[in-house]
Every structure is written in structure tokens, then in C-alpha cells.
Structure 1
């Protein structure tokens, strides 16, 4: 206890040193704790479900898509006896038009689920009841369970919500339950706000070609994973044998649910953030080690006197260790505040991007990490002064006079080694941030095959109850486009399944007429988009040959398609693709589609798979969807000015029809890329903090060196040395250390560039230019940090320096 009191008194007698040390630790440990909290939120923290390790996700894997979903017919064919596996439930993300009677409708993220979905998850509603088995039948499916967040946000937590009717997709649905707040975890059910039974209609029940159902499972207790997985494999093999046209070549596989929350790219990016944030902590540790070493050296005479009076090495080390632990304890407490503020800031950025379900909690894992980081940090930065105290030469220190020891060559080399390490870490950190920033900018600025300038877009959901078939949807969509195209300032308008900035749908497998048919499951695949006639003009995609779609392309006319240039070259070489025919693979009956046009290749902002995959466009009138993107291109007017006229136009056709995400397409792209912008912001903050710490470190070492060599510089100047000579001498010392650190850092930066290229192949990092620019910037910073003490050395008065000696 006396040692701690002595250490605490020693820290209070040096308030400037203590404040700098605590702030450095709080920022270093806090940054790492915040990043670990993000890692914990996304990957480590188990979902709030009973026995989550037994939860799995099933995939239907093909050559085209290793993480495919299941068709409704395949789901209905699942054997009732699954005793060798456990339980299975179905879910499908589903946009829903929701309104209260007499109120305008909103588009809400929802999920259609099998009625055993919540019982499988072992989650009981906090209000009301669960779904009943008979409610999975179409016609009995008009019931809803709300999430706790949606209940609070939309209905103010009204307990009388149970039994209230809401219009969902044009039909009245009764609210029968509200989920508990503990189930508010985006990793399990995404951003869904409400759930309704699967309720497959007659067409869906026989659909074996559309894989839009996800299967969630819970392994039975006491059954080994290999044994239960083999059951699923056999079911998939049986489906392929029973329905080869749709399933041959497909295999079913099981993945632990925890491994499906974030893809490999996302895992790599989060790991990179955690890794680079640890560089900040290492730089902070190095800085503190230098500060403590300088402080210990200044107290060298004190330790020498105590040693001469009989103090043991252990007694000399005890106050140093106590001071390090106290600093780590205080700094760790400050780090929790920094981590909390950083977590709230990250959550606010995510919420502003539209995801209100994201929460960063400081649970026991995060607190444990902060405590462990504080302890390890204390040992790391406390090692340097301890080494000095252990190697202290009592006689030499006492003979050195009142000025005390300079620490000897060993301590000087240690301090120089720490500076070299700081600059190596700072260069890797700055280069990593710079490369990712450059890669993100190049990705988000990519406009390959489309043009989002002067474009307004939004999504429309036609309720199935009001528009059940193509006979109702096609006339409405035709009239909508006519009215929108007539708005002042609109040059063209279109409807489509998707827009090229965010990728097309698919992939779907195709075969070519007149060519050898590949084995089932190995056919080439293409992304698919259903579009209206003026789509290519509206989105800015060039039609290279042939024609677009027109009013003659109706549900009753021959099926036609437009393919992209990459597909035309791959399938037909230098021959014209016009008039040739392709067909979807995996169907019971072959339906040939005539190619009437070839469009330029497009790339989305976030492409998956090949850089320019095969792409197929077909008339939306021949295969209308209830959900579509409405886009319009403006001429001479700001797209924002057309938001309200467009809303009024849609409302004039159907006042209950919601149009969501209505904004300039560039704005939507910016919001969709919020995750990358958040990462860029974090990396920039880490890089600036690391560089600042490294700069302070080299400044402190050089300033300390100048102070120790005051007498030497005075003698040199008394003997005729020029001021420029002294300045060069000091600069050479500092820049040599920075240069060695940069050389080591260049090797690390090159390795990081290779890792980033493998981790995120869709980005162009321009590693060479970024590393060169970062090196030049860091060299300039080092020059400034060395020049300030060099200028001080040049102002030394030789007479006063010699008198002090």
C-alpha cells in the first residue's frame, strides 16, 4: 500500500507527464476497445437465442451460387420426419406495403416465415401469441407479429396493438403478437420490422425455379454435427434425383448460423480495422515507454542513492511498476469513456444511414478486452524504465555529478529503437488508411455502363391483393410511365427489377440454341433484369445494336431479350447475336427467348463475381413483378424538385401505393455506401492519431537528445562550428531514425497492400502511388518534428552552456 501511495504521489508531482500519459493511454486503448466492440457486435457476441451454437443455415449450392436459397416447391417437399437432424424453418425477406385503415401506406421491411419460425428460435412474443400451424395455409395467413422496435416507433408502444388490423399489401391483417426487446438483433432477421406467415399461394407452391426461401435449422440435442449434416445432404441428393430439371448439380450444405452474419469480405475488413487500430496502441505504448524512460533517467541519481543505501533491485523496481499500473488503470478507465463515445458515434452514423437496429453494447467481452489491454499495455510501456533501473551503474551515476546520467548507450539505443518502431507502424497505418480510402473512392466513383447524374429513383410495391396478375400490373405500370414521362423536366422514365448501381438480379443459368448443352448445374449463368422500354436511355446504358423493348412486347407476344456485350462475345464471337435464341436452364419445358438487342456491359458499385458478368434483360411487361424501381432522367432541372410531383403522380393513380427510397440516385448511392464511408472515417481517425503520436515521439526523443548534448553543442560552437552545422547534426540524428523506420514500414505497407487486394478484389488501391505519397508526407512530418529541437539547438549560447557544465 505504501508503494502505491508513493507512486500516486510521484504522479501528482508531475501533472503534465501524468496528463499526457493518461490521454495517450485513453486514446490508444479506447480506439482498440471501440474496434473490438464493433468486432464483438458483428461477429463474436452470440445472438440472443437459446443454445445459439445449435442454430444453422442451409444453402443450396450450385456452380453459379454457393449460397443459394430454396424454391417454395423444394421447401414443401421436405420430409416430415427429420429426426436425424432436428427442426427446420423457412424465412423470406419481403418488402411490405403497410398502412392503417384510412392512412397512407409505407413500405416496410418484413419477413414471411413458416409458423414454427419463432418456436424454433425459442422466442415467445412479449405481447400476444405466436403463429398457429394452420395460419401457414394461404388464406389463413393474414396475421402479423411486430418487432419491439417497430411497435415502439410506429405505435408508441401501445399495449392495445393486439387485435388491431393493418393493411398489408392491400389486405387486412390482424396483429397477434409483439416480439420481446431482447430479440432486436439485426444479425438474425436483418432489418425486418414485422413478420407474417409464409402463406404460399397456388403459383408459389408449384414454383421450383425461383430460389427465394431461406432455411434455418436447429440441430437436435445429442446428435453430432456430421450426422445431422449428412441428413441434409441426403435430402438434397433426393431432391436432385426427383426433380433433375431444377436441382441436378445442386447440393445442400449446412453452415453454423454464426458464420452467416457477415461475408468473407466483411470479416476481412473488420479484422483489418481491429489490426490497424492495434498499431495505434503500439505507437502509444512506444511513446509512453520513451516518456517513462526519460523520466526514469532523470531520476537516475535518486535510484543510485537509494541503491547505495542498500535498496535491492526489487525495491527499485516496485515504484516503477506501481506507477505503470496506476497509469494503466486510470488510462483504462478513460479508455472506456472513449470507447463508449466512439461506439455511440459509430451507432449514430449507422442509424443516419437508415439502420436503426444497430447497437454497440459494452458487454463483459468488451470490458474484459479493455482490462486485458490495459494490463498488457502497462507491462509493455513499463518494460523500458524497468530495464534501465535493473542495469543502473550506481558508481557511474553518482560520479556523473548533479546533472545526472544520460542513460548510457543502452537506454539511448532502446529509445531510438522505439522511435524506429513508431515510424514503421505509423507508415503501415497511414498507408493502410490511404489505400482503403483510395479503393473506396475509386469504387464509389465508378460509373461503368450507367450514369446516375440527373436521375431520380424510388421503389414501388404493387399489393398482390389489388394487382394479383399481369393483367392488372401491366396496364398500371404503362399508365404510370406515361404520366411520369409527361412531368415537366423529365426526359425519360423507366421501371425495372433493379438499377445497375446496385447490381442486377440473379444469377440464372442459360443455354444457347444450336450449341452443346453443358451438364446440368454447369450451365453459364447471367444476371437478369426486367425493364421497360426506355430503361437503357434512362439509366444511361448504351444499346450497341438491335432494339430496345416496345409496346409490341406483351405477355402474349414471343419472348424476347437484350443481352450485354460480354455475353454476346462469349456465346457468339464475331457473329451477330441478333435473332439468336437462348433459354433458361433447369425448367421442365424449354422456352426460347429471341435476342433483339445487345447492350453495353455494366458494373455495379458493389459488384460480386466477375467484373463484367453476363447480363440478360427482358421486357417487364412479359414478366411483371410487384416490386420495382421507378427511375426518371431529368433535363435542365434538379432531380430533387421532382420528388413531390412524382409522389403526387403516384398518389393520383393509387393513394394507398407507397413509393419509398425516393431521392436523387446519387443520394441513394451515398447512403448505400455508408458502411464504407464509416470505415474510411475510422481509418482516417486512426491514421491521424497514430501519426500524431509518432511525431510527438520523435520530437520528444530529439528534444531530449538536444538537452543532453547542450554542453557538447556549446563546445562545438565555441570552437567555431556554424549554426547550420549544428542544425544538420540534429536533423541527421532524427531523420536517420525516421528513415530506418520508414524502410521497415515500406515492407509492411507492401504486405498490407497484397492482403487488401486479396481481401477486397473489387477495389483498385493504387498501392504504389499511395505508399509513395504516404512516405513523403511522413518524411515531411518527421522533418518538422526534428527541425523544432534543431532550431532550439542552434540558439544555444556557448558561454552559458559551458558555464553550466
Structure 2
């Protein structure tokens, strides 16, 4: 132990005598370790840190898939859930929830809060207990039971200041009184990120077509996922025979965490691979610096050997210096990593789920300690072994011999340069793919406009608007008021804005043949819109007309507008205007096609186009709409007027999430944008490190070859010849590194191509651009050492070599 402390003191004294070297090395390592720690911190928060529930590995997401409908997930209808829960042999418990948005009314105004209606045993399945009051009971879940509500801990603190007397108070939700019976911990927000919970009170007979339920189950001890799936498949097959279950649906089970955040796994792993490459480049740079120092300390090493030091003792001393640098870089890098994780999360337009924590924990500490140790070994072991090679054990006072030995060992430095360049090519290629991916998505025509468009949601409480007539009367009067606002150009309403919600249904053209059991029957995106909506969104008409106020008011005026994909699939060789379509349920009325619009990217710019239709608002009553408001003024400046207008119309109807369409579009693109930024930032850091590495190695090589260069110049070599030769040798290293890097970049691109949109593994133009950038950087990095070589004085070189 005393030897270790002695080595550590010696290492610190050595670094203190060379502060420039120490600061440079620590800075490089801090950047590399910090970037790794930042990305790992996010990965750890989402995937490695267990969910805040007892035995979270037993929690399984329950869902159904429908390949025939061209849907990977369709949700669960209550009857299927009911029989799964009653007949399964592999789950300790099952529960379902339906997403809700409650209007909490208070003193003449209302606030919209996310919530969920759940079966009484949801908290029990999750393994959580109320922190105040009680949970739901089976009796609370029965139709006709009193209206009650559970609060989230966050809402309790925000609105009631953690008042323990809140239990028993009555609040107005959707214009109905609800008694508060308890408070659930924030972990319960795991269910649809809810802040309020009410009993679901679903009935088997009335819920057969509702596929919007969120199911969760807890496996019995020791039951694997495959066994549970087989169990539910058996039950579901029987339900198909008995009638409740659709012939087109099948159970699908996934670990609950994987279902929620699984889409982020690929991009995060790709970013972790990138920062790993960046760390390797930093290690190569540090190894180069330490190897150059080690070669310069050959005489010192030889003296220590002559005094009795063993090779192992010297290697340990040099590795202690490496570990000291890595530890200092790791300490600073871990702080940068924590800050970087927080900065990346803060940049996101979405708040992270309340059950996710990015605070450093023991996994983060193990990761940082691990990469510090790996960094120390990678950057220090080779220089230590090279410095204690056989030539160092016999000190030669012959300058030529000493120079030859150093030149032999400089091959290690050249190998490091080749490695740095190769890794930099890989990172540059990844950055190019990320940027090209973002450009490809941005170049997609969305089919709607975003400039000058404000959108916000409204939901009518069922307690006050109980029938279609009252609902339609409110929308007619409300839209007239909004259209009268100063600055309003076109105003409309829709059940689902682009990049927002959706409502699927099945439709067919009149006279179309019945589909066979094996034919694909894709779900149609069904949107209910008012007159003016399509014009407000700038959705272009291909044929026919837009809706008028007369459409959908009675049976004789039932109308529909198709998108181009639906029209092309169902009327491939004819103009659909004037034709009729209907829903596939028995007795569905026919609707006359009055127009065809261009397609819109409803589900995302990077998603496939789907068949869709528009129905006029009077034709289908809906208590929820998004208002779309086109103006030449600043859209957000009109929000206060809209809030006041809405309060005047009904104080129990809140304005929900007013945003511009440009904000919505930007938010949908944020994940790809941040990935492109990070790839680009890591590639830029790699370039800077590569320039430093190339410059350092070439400068050292020129210094070691001063005598040789001086002799050549004394024999008649011109400045230009020396400059060209040094430049050629340096660019040879860059070229070799670029060749290896291209192979690595292509392999990496193939491995992560699934996270990119319309890019694949890249193009010759991309890889050619990367190589040109590296060659240009290589010329700049080589130019100064080459010019230094061309300025060598033959007389000075010969004198120094004597």
C-alpha cells in the first residue's frame, strides 16, 4: 500500500511539473467521459432503473393486435378483459384503464386535467397503496355507485397544499360533484400520466366495440411471459367461438416498461455507441501524448532500471499516472454528464414521466468508475509497456542509436493516428446519417399548413350536454363567436388534428364485394370536422367541394370527403364524387362523397399514409373537438381573448393546451432533431480530437527526425521536398485510417439503419463527403509540422545530434 501512495504522489508531482500536458489530458478525458455519462444517465433513467412498484418485472402490458386491420396494437375491449381476468391461470391480477381528460371547475372557471377511469383493482395490481384515505372498492366499480375520485400526490400538493382534510371534500369534475376518497402516490401517474382517477364502471354487454382500454397484469411468481401468452391465446380462441372477441384480434403481451419507452432504445443505443467511439478517440489521443512522454523519458527509465527497479514496478508507476489522469477526467466528466443529462431532458418539449428519475444512482457510479478504469488501461498500458521495452533497459549515449530506437517506437504513435482517423470517419458518417435523416423527414410534404394557425381543445361535460341536439347547438354558437374575433380569417373544428389523436373505423364503398377472412381490411382514419376546418388547415381539394353548413343536418344530406389514399384504394378507376360509402356495421346509413382531398401526414411525417375520411360535424355528434383558428396576427396573442370567450360560453368548459400548428409539428420532429444535433456535436468533437492527435504525432515525429532532416538538407534537399515528404507521410496515415473508417462506418450504418428515415446505410455521396472532410482536416493538421520540418537548419540539426 505504501508503494501505491508513493506512486500516486510521484504521479501528481510529475503532472504538476507539466501542467499543460495534465490539463490537456484531463480536459480530453472529461469531454469523452462526460458525453458517455450524459447519454448513459438518460438510458439508465428509462431502461435500467426499476419501476417504482413492488416486483416490477411481473408487470405486463395487456393488449391486442390485428394484422388484418393493419394495426400492431388496437387496445382492449372490456369484454375481452373481463373474460381474460376471470379465466386465466397465470396472472395474480389484471386491471384496465381508459384515458380521460377531466374539467375541474372552480369559481367560474375550469381547468383540464389528465386522468383515467380505472377498474377498482388497478392500484393493487401495480402494488401501490394510497398515502391518504382509501383505494377504490369493488362496490365503487358498479354502475350507479356514487361519483368519487382519487387524487395524485402532485395535484394534492399543488391545489390543496397537502391538506390532510382533503378526504371527504367534494369537487366538480365535468360539471358533476365527486367526493375525494383518497390520494395516490405520484408513481400511480404511470397509468396514462393521470392526475385524477375515477372508477371505470364498464359493463360487458355495452362495451364490445371499445378498443381504447389500457390493460396491465401482474404475473404469478415464476410464470414466464410465453406461458402467460399461451394461456390468454387459449382463452381468446374460446371467446372467438362464443362471440365476444373479434376473429381478427389476438392477444399480445410485453413487459410494461418496454412498451412505454421501447421506441427510445434504438436511438439511445446508437448514441451510446457514438460516445463510446468518441471516448476511444480521446483515449488514443491521451495514449499518444503519454507515449511521446514515455519515449522522452527513456533515459530516466533506464537510470531507474540501473538502480534496481523492475519492469513491473516501472509499468505500475506509469499506469498510476494514467489512472490519476483518468480519475481526474472522470470526476470532471461525471459532473459534465449529470449536467448534460439534465440539459438534454430540459430541451425536450415533453415533461418526463413522473415515475422516471435521472438522478445519479449506483448504476451511474458503476458505469463512470468502469469507463474511468477502462480509459486508464486503454490510454496508459501501451505507452507503459513501450516505455519499458528492451531498448530502455540499456542506456545508449549514442545519439544516432537513441534516435533510431525512438523512431522504431514512433510506429505506435502512427498506429494511434490511424485509429483516431478511422473512428472519426465512423462518427462523421453517423452524423451525416443523422442529419440526412432529419432532412429527409423535413422534406416530406405534410399535406397541411402550419403558419398562422392556432389550435386548442374543448370538451363538453356530459352532465350538461346529454344529447346530440345540445352538443351541436353549443358547437354552432361557439364557432360563430370565435369567427367574430378580430383577426379570425378561417375557423373550424375537428375531432383529431394532424399529429394528434385518431379514431379508427371500417368503411366500404357501395357495391364493393365482401372481403374474405384472409383479406386485409385496414382501419380508416375517421375525422369529424366542421365547415371551415379543411380550409383553415390549408388541406387542398382534388375534386368536388368542401363541406357546407347544410351537410349532415338530416338523413338526406349525409356527406363524406375522402382522402386521396382512400379514394385510390376503393375507386381506382373512377371519380368517387357522387358515389356512396357506408360503415361496415349492420344497418349503417350511406354517405355521399362530395369531395376528395390530398393526403395529410396525420400520424407523423415519417409514418406511412393511411386511408382516411372526413365527416361533417352535424352528422356525427362529438363532445370533444380541437378548434383550428387561422389568423394573420400572432396566434398566441389571441389566447386570452379565446379563454374569456370560452368562459362566457360555459365556465365548465376549459381551453385545453392552446398551441400553434408549427409548435405541434416541431414537437413531433424533436426526437430526430436532437439525435441529429448530438451526432453532429460528437462528430465535431471527434474532428477536434483527431486534428490534435495528428498534429501532435507529426510534430513529435519531426522533432525526432531533426538529425535526419538536417543531413538531407545538408546534402541538397530543398525546403519544398522536405515539406512534401512530411506531408505525404502524414496524409498516408490519414488515408489508411479513412479506408478502415469507411468499412467501420458501413458496418455501423447497417446496424443502426432502422432508426433512420429514408436513409438506409448511406450513399456514396455521404461517404465521399466524409472522406473529403477528413482529408481536408488532415491537410490542416499536417501542414504545421511539415512547415516546421522545412524550416530545420542543417547546421543546428547536426550540432544537436552530436
Which one is further off, 703-712 or 191-200?
191-200
Residue of structure 1 equivalent to 2:196: 194
Q: What secondary structure is seen at the aligned counterpart in 2 of 1:311?
A: coil
Residue of structure 1 equivalent to 2:483: 485
CA distance in 1, matches of 2:230, 2:448: 46
Shift of residue 224 of structure 1?
4.8
CA distance in 2, matches of 1:323, 1:465: 74
Paired residues of 2:727 and 2:783 also in contact (CA < 8 A): yes
Residue of structure 2 equivalent to 1:89: 95
Which one is further off, 111-120 or 675-684?
675-684
The one-character-per-residue Cα deviations of 1:527-566 (angstroms, maximum 9, x if unpaired) are 2211112222111111211233223333642543221112
- Listed as ranges, the matches of 1:152-171 within 5 Å are 152-171=157-176
Residue of structure 2 equivalent to 1:466: 464
- Listed as ranges, the matches of 1:336-347 within 5 Å are 336-347=334-345
Residue of structure 2 equivalent to 1:414: 412
Paired residues of 2:599 and 2:609 also in contact (CA < 8 A): yes
Shift of residue 576 of structure 1?
1.8
The one-character-per-residue Cα deviations of 1:737-762 (angstroms, maximum 9, x if unpaired) are 12222222223333444444433346
The one of 424, 427, 430 aligned to 1:429: 427
Equivalenced residue count is 792
Paired residues of 1:353 and 1:674 also in contact (CA < 8 A): no
Which one is further off, 267-276 or 712-721?
712-721
Paired residues of 1:232 and 1:254 also in contact (CA < 8 A): no
CA distance in 1, matches of 2:453, 2:790: 62
The one-character-per-residue Cα deviations of 1:490-534 (angstroms, maximum 9, x if unpaired) are 22111112222x166244333333233223573133222111122
Residue of structure 2 equivalent to 1:637: 633
Residue of structure 1 equivalent to 2:57: 53
Q: What secondary structure is seen at the aligned counterpart in 1 of 2:86?
A: coil
The one-character-per-residue Cα deviations of 1:285-305 (angstroms, maximum 9, x if unpaired) are 111111111111111112223
Residue of structure 1 equivalent to 2:14: 10
CA distance in 2, matches of 1:96, 1:407: 79
CA distance in 1, matches of 2:14, 2:278: 27
The one-character-per-residue Cα deviations of 1:222-278 (angstroms, maximum 9, x if unpaired) are 54544432221122223322337x6112111222223212244x2211111111111
Shift of residue 766 of structure 1?
6.9
CA distance in 1, matches of 2:407, 2:397: 17
Paired residues of 1:714 and 1:798 also in contact (CA < 8 A): yes
CA distance in 1, matches of 2:684, 2:727: 23
- Listed as ranges, the matches of 1:376-415 within 5 Å are 376-394=374-392, 397-401=395-399, 405=403, 407-408=405-406, 410-415=408-413
Task: Identify if the C-alpha distance between structure 1 residues 222 and 787 changes in structure 2 by more than 3 Å, giving closer, same or farther.
Answer: closer
Q: What secondary structure is seen at the aligned counterpart in 1 of 2:630?
A: strand
Task: Identify if the C-alpha distance between structure 1 residues 149 and 802 changes in structure 2 by more than 3 Å, giving closer, same or farther.
Answer: farther
Q: What secondary structure is seen at the aligned counterpart in 2 of 1:398?
A: coil
Shift of residue 33 of structure 1?
1.8
Residue of structure 2 equivalent to 1:142: 147
The one of 595, 598, 604 aligned to 1:597: 595
Structure 2 unpaired stretches of 5+: none
Shift of residue 77 of structure 1?
4.9
The one of 654, 678, 681 aligned to 1:682: 678
Task: Identify if the C-alpha distance between structure 1 residues 484 and 407 changes in structure 2 by more than 3 Å, giving closer, same or farther.
Answer: farther
Q: What secondary structure is seen at the aligned counterpart in 1 of 2:109?
A: coil
Residue of structure 2 equivalent to 1:213: 213
CA distance in 2, matches of 1:149, 1:794: 71
- Listed as ranges, the matches of 1:55-134 within 5 Å are 55-63=59-67, 64-78=70-84, 80-99=86-105, 101-134=106-139
Shift of residue 143 of structure 1?
2.4
Task: Identify if the C-alpha distance between structure 1 residues 765 and 590 changes in structure 2 by more than 3 Å, giving closer, same or farther.
Answer: farther
The one-character-per-residue Cα deviations of 1:102-123 (angstroms, maximum 9, x if unpaired) are 1522222222211110011110
CA distance in 1, matches of 2:398, 2:301: 13
The one-character-per-residue Cα deviations of 1:370-402 (angstroms, maximum 9, x if unpaired) are 111111221111222133134331476524449
Shift of residue 445 of structure 1?
5.4
RMSD: 2.7
TM-score scaled by length of structure 1: 0.92
Shift of residue 590 of structure 1?
4.5
TM-score scaled by length of structure 2: 0.92
Task: Identify if the C-alpha distance between structure 1 residues 539 and 387 changes in structure 2 by more than 3 Å, giving closer, same or farther.
Answer: same
- Listed as ranges, the matches of 1:550-569 within 5 Å are 550-554=548-552, 556-557=554-555, 559-569=558-568
Paired residues of 1:85 and 1:232 also in contact (CA < 8 A): no
CA distance in 2, matches of 1:410, 1:67: 63
CA distance in 2, matches of 1:272, 1:776: 24
Which one is further off, 769-778 or 461-470?
769-778
Q: What secondary structure is seen at the aligned counterpart in 1 of 2:666?
A: helix
Structure 1 unpaired stretches of 5+: none
Residue of structure 1 equivalent to 2:236: 236
- Listed as ranges, the matches of 1:701-720 within 5 Å are 701-720=697-716
Task: Identify if the C-alpha distance between structure 1 residues 796 and 484 changes in structure 2 by more than 3 Å, giving closer, same or farther.
Answer: same
Q: What secondary structure is seen at the aligned counterpart in 2 of 1:577?
A: coil
